[in-house]
Amino acid sequence: MEGRDTDRAGVGGTVADVGEFGLIREVTGRQQVPKGTVVGPGDDAAVVEAPDGRVVITTDVLVQGVHFRLDWSSPEQVGHKAAAVNLADVAAMGARPTSLVVGFACPADTDAAVATAVSDGMSAEAARAGAGIVGGDVVQADQLVISVTAIGDLGGREPVTRSGARPGHIVAVCGRLGWAAAGLAVLGRGFRSPVGVVNAQRAPEPPYEAGLVAADAGATSMIDVSDGLLADLQHLAESSDVGIDIASESLEVDRKLVDVAGALGADPMHWVLTGGEDHALVATFPSFTDLPQGWRQIGTVLMPDTGVTVDGKPYDGETGWEHWR
């Protein structure tokens, strides 16, 4: 398989050579269980502490050829991405990520080094969010599939859902927009640079701490940008029964995106408005709120039945990603 680095991963042969239990021993032996783990890998199920008395749980499935390609990304980057997309969902609830449970499926002839490198990438990204892997399963399949369940702790806060936005609230964002979409466009044209843009698609960097900060600052609703800014704001607007208007002049279009768009004949604002997989956080706040550091206002919550608009008008074109379409 392309994109592997068997020397760095430190294990040879295929997963069939290593065997199911050998692979589990290899993977778990490379990890440190996170704080708050009562029973970690090796038993029928993991046991983790829940100091708040409530647990935030989310799951995502990543499929080779749909969510990642090993000729575009290293196995470590694939693992990084698999962890990040789940950890961002926990952060978007105003919770602190604590642990991950991972399901890993692959063909028998997959290099064992690929599997352990994917695990290393997940562990490293989980550690960046203050979490770790506490259990999971490995099985044979026709292609590489990674299913991650993330668990988080609210720390006494109420969860920040999608349904709390009200007319008059402000809409704010923390994190980058459009970079992962630009990286996907570059990779799709057969290029591998600029590296910063390409890596935004390979290994997104969600602002995990910003979710906690937003919750403490009084965020009334929140969502991570996985499908596209306009598409995800539509989810939020429908849940809250409100309209939302985005001011395009408030959206930051980095010079690198402008340069890449110019080279590819694309519109960088389209990436910013509709590109997913950056996993920035978007939230609504009461109008009197002093936004926390790193957050910037990009729009306003309106009365119901107005939809999600840009500069007061419906957006012309697809607003984001949706499976089976």
Q: Does 162 belong to an annotated binding site?
A: yes
Is residue 72 marked as binding?
no
267 annotated as belonging to a binding site for a ligand? no
User: Is 277 labeled as ligand-binding?
Assistant: yes
121 known member of a binding site? no
225 or 51, higher pLDDT: 225
Residue 137 counted as an annotated binding residue: yes
State yes or no: 241 annotated in a binding site. Answer: no
Q: Render pLDDT for 100-113 as a digit per residue (tens, 0 to 9).
A: 999 999 999 999 99
89 known member of a binding site? yes
**pLDDT above 80 for 5:** no
Residue 109 known to bind ligand:
no
59 among the known binding-site residues?
yes
Question: Using H for helix, E for strand and C for coil, what is the string for the chain?
Answer: CCCCCHHHHCCCCEHHHHCHHHHHHHHHCCCCCCCCEEECECECCCEECCCCCCCEEEEEEEEECCCECCCCCCHHHHHHHHHHHHHHHHHCCCCEEEEEEEEEEECCCCEHHHHHHHHHHHHHHHHHCCCEEEEEEEEECCCCEEEEEEEEECCCCCCCCCCCCCCCCEEEEECCCCHHHHHHHHHHCCCCCCHHHHHHHHCCCCCHHHHHHHHHCCCCEEEECCCCHHHHHHHHHHHHCCEEEECHHHCCCCHHHHHHHHHHCCCHHHHHHHCCCCCCEEEEECCCCCCCCCCEEEEEEECCCCCEEECCEECCCCCCCCCCC
The reply to whether 76 sits in an annotated binding site is no
Q: What is the pTM of this model?
A: 0.90
pLDDT at position 52 over 80: yes
238 assigned to a ligand binding site: no
The answer to whether residue 318 scores a pLDDT higher than 80 is no
pLDDT higher at 36 or 79: 79
Domains recognised in the chain with CATH numbers: 11-153 (3.30.1330.10), 170-314 (3.90.650.10)
